[in-house]
Amino acid sequence: MSVIVPLRAALGVAALYVACATSEVRAEDASPWQRDTHSAVRLLAGSRSGTVLLGGVAIQLQPGWKTYWRTPGDSGVPPRFDFSKSDNVEAVTVLWPAPMKFDDGAGGTALGYKQQVVLPLRIVAKNADKPVTLRAHISYAVCDKICIPVDAQAELAFSSVASTEDGNLSDALNTVPKPANIGDSNPLTIRDIKREGKNNVLVDVTAPEAKEVSLFVEGPTPDWALPVPKLVDNSPPGVKRFAFELDGLPPGATPEGAALKLTLVGGDRAYEFNVSLN
C-alpha cells in the first residue's frame, strides 16, 4: 500500500516547546515530536474502533513562520506524505483544514497555516482485528522571508483504549470545509459561477455582512495552478463577487468541462463546492 498526498486550530506559539516536552509520555496517543529549527511535527492517534481509524498530523511553527495548504497559492511548496511503510493499513486520506491567506513576499498570495495546524487522517485498516502501526515520511516547507524544506519520519501504533487526543482530532475535523452545493440555503454559500469572455470566471457569494470572506479555487489535477480569486470592487447588490483568470493550466489542458473545486471560507465556517466549468 502506498499513499502519497500532495500538500499544503491554532495554539499560542508560547505553547510550542511546552507541548513538545509534556506530550511525549503518551506514546499510545501521539508520537514524539520531530523538531527542526523552526517547526515540530508528530502523529496523533484517535481511539481505535473498527476498520476506519482517525488520526492526525500535528505541525507547530515558531512566530512568523508558516507552512502550506495542499494548493499553496501563488508560491510555496505543498506538503507531501508517504504512508507506504505502515503495518496493516489499506489507505490513508489527508483531510485539510481551511487555509488562511498571507503575503508571499513577492507580491502574490500564499495559502497555508501559521502557529499550529492538525491535519486529520482517515485511516482504513486491512484487518480490523490486527494491530495498526502508522509510519509516515513527511516532507513540507516552513517559510518566513526564506523557505526551508523539512523532512521527518514518524511512527505511531494505534491502541484499542480511549485516546486523550480524541478532542483535538474532533476540533481539527470541525475546521475541515464541509461539502456543499451551489445555491445551498447556508448563510455562507456560492450563489452562481459563470464565465465572462474566454479567460475570466466570476463567482457570486452570499455571506453575512460582518464576515471577511475568502475564496480559493483548484483544478482537476495538482498541476493546475489557478490564481487566487480576488474580490471585485462594486459587486452586485447582495453578493460578494470574486473573479479569477483561467491561467496556469498545464500544457494541452482545456477549461471547458473541467472539474473545479471551490473552497469558501468566512469566519468559522468553510465549505467546498465541486463544479464543472462550462
User: Which tens digit of pLDDT belongs to each residue from 85-109?
Assistant: 999 999 999 999 999 998 877 778 9
pLDDT tens digits along 123-147: 999 998 899 999 999 999 999 888 8
Which three three-digit cell numbers place residue 71? 494548493
**Cell output for 31:** 508520537
Q: Which of 44, 100, 123 is nearest to 268 (CA)?
A: 100
Whose CA is closest to 196, among 251, 278, 254? 278
* Least confident span in 24-38, 114-128, 257-271: 24-38
The whole-number pLDDT of residue 277 equals 86
Determine which helix (DSSP H) or strand (DSSP E) holds 139, and give its type and residue range: strand 132-143
Cell numbers 508571499 label which residue? Answer: 104
In terms of DSSP H, where are the helices of 116-221?
A: 166-174
Q: What is the pLDDT at residue 204?
A: 96
Q: For residue 133, what is its C-alpha cell? A: 502501526
If one counts every other C-beta atom within 10 angstroms of the C-beta of residue 172, the result is: 23
Rounded distance between C-alpha atoms, residue 169 and residue 124, angstroms = 16
Cell of 120: 486529520
